């Protein structure tokens, strides 16, 4: 039934049902149920169809949110899907894992007096429905082009670029060192936020559209980067950032102190049904253990919630600032608290205890001082405030830096920024090497899936422009 719009005054916000913490602690399934069609239409109808939609302004993809909300409210879901897919390669993924509270929904104007429109949940619902109804068709270029593009990295940036270039008719090959497509979507982000079938479905969709994948291909390792440059007319680097930030202090090298991504990749592989010796041996498995996770970002939240699901004895998150100043999404903190995670706010590790393996963390209380030049409050230790937490496993989740690509790719002329990310021309996305482009976290630094999609799409458009200019120049000769 078609719903009238502007219903926010009388109709309260309703998100899809969240499974009770007691149930969801025991598995890696997503925690939110699907919207029922009637509820999706009703929630979409709460939108007031703003003349200047701040939701859209604050969506990195400039999604046409008011229009697809209206189409959903009117029951015109296939059109809503087409509109949504026009600006977003993976709407069902963003609908699940974007930090909407900081982006579209956080800027919905009705948020000022009422709860915002549930934009993310509707976006997810539209594309899930499109898949169920077979409305999602493989990419079908109008004509084939002879130019080939090699993409290094099958994360959201590489895949979004692959989709756009293939739709223009280019011959696209994506290389990845992993055995599955998806980058952090498949091996970083846990199933309780994004079920793996959703990512595998997109892999199949891209293959059906003619994108080729070469997996287990470590570029710069077994397969030299120079080979890709010889083979392809253009190369896009979308390798993400993976160098884990280290932690110092006495005992920081003890066995039992592990990297966040090693822990998450192992857990995701287990969920995908792989044989995982490090999980079975207990090395990267929290079952029955006291676990301490250090960090306050999305990665730390994923680690604490994974440890809970692996049946850890206790899980404590140690973060040096307070809840209001943590980089992770507050929605995820709330979920973690509901699931039984303890948070030690304003606490930082001082040393790690143990002889031949870690047995505990000695931490100090902190307080927030005056803001520095960036406006962020400094963190100062409180003398004499030490306390000890028992730990069989300590997970370091302090963020990621880029690997040194000029060395890894044996391309000394590949220029970096001061942060070690790849330097690109912001308009052309070209690096200091002609014909070599870059997008996603490797350019931006650790960021969000939605920004990686945006960069991948923009880089594809820039590569297309460069091919077209070359073709026109050739024709004019």
Q: Which residues bind ligand FAD (CB under 6 A)?
A: 97-98, 152-158, 175-178, 183-184, 188-189, 193, 217-220, 238-240, 264, 298-299, 302, 440-441, 447-450, 452
Q: How far is the CB of 108 from ligand SF4 (least distance, A)?
A: 3
Give strand ranges (E) for 436-476: 436-438
Q: Which does 88 bind (CB under 5 to 8 A by kind): ligand FAD, ligand SF4, none?
A: ligand SF4
Q: How far is the CB of 64 from ligand SF4 (least distance, A)?
A: 9
Q: Which does 84 bind (CB under 5 to 8 A by kind): ligand SF4, ligand FAD, none?
A: none
Q: How far is the CB of 373 from ligand SF4 (least distance, A)?
A: 29
Q: Which does 80 bind (CB under 5 to 8 A by kind): ligand FAD, ligand SF4, none?
A: none
**CA 75, 130, 25, 100: dihedral to nearest 10 degrees?**
-70
Q: Select 98 or 333, whichever has its Cβ closest to ligand FAD.
A: 98
Q: Which does 233 bind (CB under 5 to 8 A by kind): ligand FAD, ligand SF4, none?
A: none
Angle (CA) 74 79 83, round 5°:
115
Q: Select 50 or 217, whichever has its Cβ closest to ligand SF4.
A: 50
Q: Which does 163 bind (CB under 5 to 8 A by kind): ligand SF4, ligand FAD, none?
A: none
Q: 465 Cβ partners below 8 Å, 6+ apart?
A: 428
Q: 317 Cβ partners below 8 Å, 6+ apart?
A: 292, 293, 294, 295, 296, 300, 301, 304, 336, 341, 342, 343, 344
Q: Select 55 or 237, whichever has its Cβ closest to ligand SF4.
A: 55
- Residue 395: which H helix or E strand, with range? strand 393-396
Q: Select 82 or 338, whichever has its Cβ closest to ligand FAD.
A: 338
One DSSP character per residue, 292-360 reads EEE--SHHHHHHHHHHHHTT-SEEEEE-SS-GGG-SS-HHHHHHHHHHT-EEETTEEEEEEE-SSS--E
> What is the distance between the alpha carbons of residues 317 and 305, in angstroms, rounded to a whole number?
10
Q: How far is the CB of 428 from ligand FAD (least distance, A)?
A: 18
Q: How far is the CB of 92 from ligand SF4 (least distance, A)?
A: 10
CB 414 within 8 A of CB 437: no
Q: Select 71 or 449, whichever has its Cβ closest to ligand FAD.
A: 449
**Can you give the C-alpha Rg of the chain in angstroms?**
23
Helix (H, G, I), strand (E, B) or coil at 151: strand
Q: Which long-range contacts (CB under 8 A, 24 or more apart) does 48-55 make?
A: 48/5, 48/6, 48/8, 48/109, 48/110, 49/5, 49/6, 50/109, 54/107, 54/108, 54/109, 55/104, 55/105, 55/107, 55/108, 55/117, 55/119
Residues lying near ligand SF4 in the complex (CB under 6 A): 47-50, 53-55, 59, 61, 63, 65-66, 88, 94-95, 98, 100, 103-104, 108-110, 117, 119-120, 123, 450
Q: Select 262 or 337, whichever has its Cβ closest to ligand FAD.
A: 262
Q: How far is the CB of 53 from ligand SF4 (least distance, A)?
A: 4
Q: Which does 183 bind (CB under 5 to 8 A by kind): ligand SF4, ligand FAD, none?
A: ligand FAD
Q: How far is the CB of 94 from ligand FAD (least distance, A)?
A: 8
> What is the distance between the alpha carbons of residues 149 and 152, in angstroms, rounded to a whole number?
10
Helix (H, G, I), strand (E, B) or coil at 472: helix
Q: Which does 441 bind (CB under 5 to 8 A by kind): ligand SF4, ligand FAD, none?
A: ligand FAD
Q: Select 104 or 433, whichever has its Cβ closest to ligand SF4.
A: 104
Q: Which does 200 bind (CB under 5 to 8 A by kind): ligand SF4, ligand FAD, none?
A: none
φ/ψ (deg, to 5) at 416: -115, 160
Length of the chain in residues, anyone?
477
Q: How far is the CB of 137 from ligand FAD (least distance, A)?
A: 24
Q: 418 Cβ partners below 8 Å, 6+ apart?
A: none
> Any idea what DSSP says for residue 145?
-
Q: Which does 55 bind (CB under 5 to 8 A by kind): ligand SF4, ligand FAD, none?
A: ligand SF4
Q: Select 107 or 168, whichever has its Cβ closest to ligand SF4.
A: 107
Q: Which does 168 bind (CB under 5 to 8 A by kind): ligand SF4, ligand FAD, none?
A: none
């Amino acid at each position: 039934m078609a719903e009238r719009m502007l219903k926010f005054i009388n109709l309260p916000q309703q998100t899809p049902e969240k499974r009770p913490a007691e149930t969801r602690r025991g598995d890696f399934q997503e925690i939110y149920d699907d919207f029922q069609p009637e509820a999706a239409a009703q929630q979409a109808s709460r939108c007031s169809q703003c003349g200047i939609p701040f939701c859209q302004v604050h969506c990195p993809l400039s999604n046409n949110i008011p229009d697809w909300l209206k189409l959903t409210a009117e029951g015109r879901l296939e059109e809503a899907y087409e509109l949504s897919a026009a600006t977003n390669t993976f709407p069902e993924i963003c609908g699940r894992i974007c930090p909407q509270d900081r982006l579209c929904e956080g800027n919905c104007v009705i948020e000022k007096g009422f709860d915002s429109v549930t934009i993310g949940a509707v976006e997810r619902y539209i594309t899930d429905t499109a898949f169920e109804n077979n409305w999602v068709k493989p990419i079908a270029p109008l004509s084939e082009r002879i130019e080939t593009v090699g993409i290094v990295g099958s994360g959201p940036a590489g895949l979004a670029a692959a989709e756009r270039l293939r739709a223009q008719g280019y011959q696209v090959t994506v290389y990845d060192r992993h055995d599955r497509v998806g980058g952090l979507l498949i091996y970083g982000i846990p199933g309780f936020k994004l079920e793996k079938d959703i990512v595998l479905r997109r892999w199949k969709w891209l293959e059906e559209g003619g994108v080729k994948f070469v997996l287990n291909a470590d570029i710069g390792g077994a397969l030299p980067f120079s080979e890709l440059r010889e083979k392809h007319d253009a190369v896009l680097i979308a390798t993400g950032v993976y160098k884990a930030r280290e932690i110092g202090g006495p005992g920081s090298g003890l066995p039992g102190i592990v990297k966040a991504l090693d822990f998450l990749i192992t857990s995701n592989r287990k969920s995908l049904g792989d044989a995982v010796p490090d999980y079975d041996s207990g090395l990267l498995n929290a079952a029955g253990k006291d676990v301490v996770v250090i960090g306050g970002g999305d990665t730390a939240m994923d680690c604490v919630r994974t440890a809970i699901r692996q049946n850890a004895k206790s899980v404590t998150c140690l973060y040096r600032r307070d809840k209001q100043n943590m980089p992770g999404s507050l929605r995820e903190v709330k979920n973690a608290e509901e699931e039984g995670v303890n948070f030690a706010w304003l606490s930082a590790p001082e040393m790690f205890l143990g002889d031949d393996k870690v047995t505990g963390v000695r931490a100090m209380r902190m307080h927030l001082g005056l803001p520095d030049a960036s406006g962020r409050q400094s963190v100062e230790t409180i003398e004499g405030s030490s306390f000890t937490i028992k730990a069989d496993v300590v997970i370091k989740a302090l963020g990621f830096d880029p690997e040194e690509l000029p060395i890894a790719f044996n391309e000394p002329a590949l220029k970096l920024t001061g942060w070690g990310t790849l330097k690109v021309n912001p308009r052309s996305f070209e690096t200091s090497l002609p014909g070599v482009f870059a997008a996603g976290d490797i350019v931006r630094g650790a960021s969000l899936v939605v920004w990686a999609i945006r960069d991948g799409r923009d880089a594809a458009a820039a590569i297309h422009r460069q091919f077209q200019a070359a073709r026109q120049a050739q024709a004019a000769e």
